[in-house]
A = this chain, B = another copy of it.
Amino acid sequence: MRVLVAEDDRRIAADLARGLTEAGYIAECVADGEDAWFRGDTEDYAAIILDLGLPRLDGLTILKRWREGGRRTPVLILTARGSWAERVDGIDAGADDYLPKPFQMEELLARLRSIVRRSAGHASSVVSIGDVTLDERQMQVSVRGQPVPLSPLEYRLASYLVLHRGRVVSQFELNENIYGQDDAHDSNAIEVLIGRVRKKLGPDLIETRRGFGYIVPGDGA
């Protein structure tokens, strides 16, 4: 699951990248307003963390442009402590949530989970599909109540498919969202991964759409 980090303070950006990576996301960082707008407009992210004080192009302007262009990617804005005006403006411009700096990584992750979930239309951090239950908080998947250990990549794959259930996901999309666009593999690594996940979670969770990709059945979204 890819997340765009638009933050010009290198230290904060590095912290964010690390925290996100450890939480299982793919973090892609930009430090410049123009870049941020371009990436957010052309790439598909699960969420965007946006600092309002970017050079070259202001965060609020970026956000407005995205929304005017029809982009509904959930956006979490970072604001300076106590600046209420900024927060209100941000919400008005279409932000899904805000977080005052300095912040705790854990809180950021919680809010991020929240807006990602909201945008996907789910209500809780636990999703059940048939016998399979996925708990984002524990980063744990269970089958009929029995916890099943998944490796990091297996978990990423499973959670991405489950979060986008009811929709066909192409191998290319999986590749990009599991590994990040920079180092996409051209082998059948995804297929192998799919196989391993099926072996652990049962063969019925993930269906193959020959020639198109994979799909987890669910609410017809």
Q: Is A104 an interface residue (CB 8 A)?
A: yes
Q: Is the CB of B172 within 8 A of A18?
A: yes
- For A173, list chain B residues within 8 Å (CB): 22, 105-106
Q: Is A137 an interface residue (CB 8 A)?
A: yes
- For A166, list chain B residues within 8 Å (CB): 137-138
Interface size on A, residues (CB 8 A): 37
- Closest B residue, CB atoms, query A147: B217
Q: Is A211 an interface residue (CB 8 A)?
A: yes
Q: Is the CB of B172 within 8 A of A212?
A: no
Known: A104-B107, A106-B173, A139-B168. Is A152-B211 also a contact (CB below 8 A)? yes
Complex alpha-carbon distance, A22 and B102, angstroms: 22
- For A22, list chain B residues within 8 Å (CB): 170-173, 212-213
- Which residue of B104, B171, B172 is within 8 Å of A102 (Cβ)? B104
Q: Is A148 an interface residue (CB 8 A)?
A: no
Q: Is A220 an interface residue (CB 8 A)?
A: yes
For window 120-172 of A, CB contacts with B under 8 Å fall at: 137-140, 149, 151-152, 166-168, 170-172
- For A215, list chain B residues within 8 Å (CB): 138
Q: How far is the CB of A87 from chain B (nearest CB, A)?
A: 8
- Which residue of B100, B105, B137, B170 is within 8 Å of A167 (Cβ)? B137
Shortest beta-carbon contacts, A-B, top 10:
A152-B211, A22-B170, A139-B168, A104-B106, A104-B107, A22-B172, A139-B212, A137-B167, A104-B104, A138-B168
